[in-house]
Structure 1
Amino acid sequence: MLTFDHIAVSAETLARGVQDVETALGQPLLPGGEHPDMGTHNRLLSFGPEEYFEVIAVNPAAEGPDQPRWFNLDNFRGATRVTNWICRCPDIEAAIAAAPEGIGVPWKLQRGDLRWSMAIPEDGKLPFGGLFPALIQWHDDAHPAPRLRDTGVRLKELRLHAPEAAALRAALGPLMSDPRVSIIPAEAARIEAVLATPTGDVTL
């Protein structure tokens, strides 16, 4: 039902996030855009023809929504880091029904000719401390990944360090199977992404 779509790397400012990630990967990030409904903006990097990576931050020039922003960005502080991952689905209503409580309600969003629906929690916080994936359904067959220049970077492993590892595994297991995703028991929730780059593996 769910397929890995992209990773969200949060930053206190977009400029700082771009600088941190470009330094770590040795690759330039590509133009993204603004999300007026959420008051955020991003820059992108290809993971191949069907997957990608975004650095995202609050846009200080935008008003934002009447509720907390997605990915809990209103409360983000500290170092640029992977905070969330996003999975696409063919039917977002069905995916929401199968997901844990708190996954959110569908918003219809648009940037240019890209149109999608996304489940956004009312408090901005995804289940399991942000370790459960956000849900997205792309419309009209338009997707960012094929439009991005392929620099050879690929997702090699996504490590979910989870205080409730068994419960997360039980919630996620019936919905998707991706050998790159591992759930690791831990005291605090965090996400690590291991990326294969032309110059070697990088862990964010």
Structure 2
Amino acid sequence: MNAIPARLDHLVLATPDLAATVADFTRRTGVTPAPGGVHVGLGTRNHLVALGGTSYLEIIGPDPEQPRPRGPRPFDVDILAAARTVTWAIAPPDLDAAVARARSRGYDPGDVRPMSRRRPDGTLLRWRLTDGDTQHPSGLVPFLIDWGTSPHPTASGLPGTPLLSLTATAPAPDEIRPLLAALDTGLHLAAGPVGLSFTVDTPRGPVTFG
């Protein structure tokens, strides 16, 4: 199986129907994802599952209780035909230094911007992440995240399905490998259609999601 990259913060499983995807994950794994919170103004909400250590799975989709945002919802959830692992995030020790280092190596991961959401228990989480048009459109190159002084999502007692492997493929891997190297990530990239998939250990045995 492919090694799990160092500093993996979370995987993003985006879906056009959050309730249906959470139900499917529960049915296949025997583990029910926990409500994460609402992204106010962006029209999305999420559910979370611990993957081991300080890594987790984010299942994100439209929030039917929010008005439609002015712009597109994050991760193209409005145009997805089905749930799909669309990207991933790493948490470098120093976000700003990691961005500067990547730019010096020829890859711009995007501007750093603040975000926040409130957990169901009322705790406000604040973080910073890279976001912008300069990020690679395949989703195979991770965005960078820094939780600052906020409690990490895995500190809230999430249900867990330990991550066994993360697999990534692209038609021209050699075009993307230098970008991964610019971020000091060891994701193994093989030839194939553009895609991310991961396998988790569950009470019902290993289960893979694409």
TM class by shorter chain equals: 0.7 to 0.9
Tell me: CA distance 1:127–1:197, structure 2 relative to 1, closer, same or farther (3 Å): same
1:109 alignment counterpart: 115
Tell me: CA distance 1:85–1:168, structure 2 relative to 1, closer, same or farther (3 Å): same
- Displacement of 1:81 in angstroms is 2.1
- The alignment partner of 1:20 has SS state of helix
* Matched ranges for 1:69-80 at <5 A: 69-75=73-79, 77-80=80-83
Give the whole-Å Cα distance in 2 for the aligned partners of 1:34 and 1:147. 16
- Displacement of 1:47 in angstroms is 1.4
Give the gaps of 5 or more residues in structure 1: none
- Displacement of 1:119 in angstroms is 1.4
Tell me: CA distance 1:96–1:171, structure 2 relative to 1, closer, same or farther (3 Å): same
- Paired residue type of 1:193: F
1:158 alignment counterpart: 166
- Displacement of 1:104 in angstroms is 2.8
- Displacement of 1:66 in angstroms is 5.2
Give the whole-Å Cα distance in 1 for the aligned partners of 2:166 and 2:21. 19
2:132 alignment counterpart: 121
Give the whole-Å Cα distance in 1 for the aligned partners of 2:130 and 2:12. 15
1:168 alignment counterpart: 176
- Displacement of 1:116 in angstroms is 0.3
Give the whole-Å Cα distance in 2 for the aligned partners of 1:59 and 1:91. 32
1:15 alignment counterpart: 19
Count of equivalent residues: 196
2:194 corresponds, among 167, 189, 196, to 189
Q: Is the 8 A contact 1:8 1:56 kept in 2?
A: yes
2:45 corresponds, among 41, 48, 71, to 41
- The alignment partner of 1:139 has SS state of coil
Deviations 1:36-57 (A, max 9, x none): 1432100111113411111101
Give the whole-Å Cα distance in 2 for the aligned partners of 1:148 and 1:126. 32
1:32 alignment counterpart: 36
- The reply to whether residue 89 of structure 1 matches residue 98 of structure 2 is no
TM-score norm. by structure 2 comes to: 0.81
- The alignment partner of 1:172 has SS state of helix
Tell me: CA distance 1:41–1:150, structure 2 relative to 1, closer, same or farther (3 Å): closer
Give the whole-Å Cα distance in 1 for the aligned partners of 2:62 and 2:48. 15
Give the gaps of 5 or more residues in structure 2: 1-5, 119-123
Tell me: CA distance 1:79–1:66, structure 2 relative to 1, closer, same or farther (3 Å): closer
RMSD: 2.4
Q: Is the 8 A contact 2:166 2:197 kept in 1?
A: yes
- Paired residue type of 1:48: G
Deviations 1:126-149 (A, max 9, x none): 415111112111110520012123
Q: Is the 8 A contact 1:128 1:164 kept in 2?
A: no
Give the whole-Å Cα distance in 2 for the aligned partners of 1:41 and 1:83. 16
- The alignment partner of 2:32 has SS state of coil
Identity score, percent: 30
Q: Is the 8 A contact 1:48 1:146 kept in 2?
A: no
- Displacement of 1:17 in angstroms is 1.4
- The reply to whether residue 145 of structure 1 matches residue 154 of structure 2 is yes
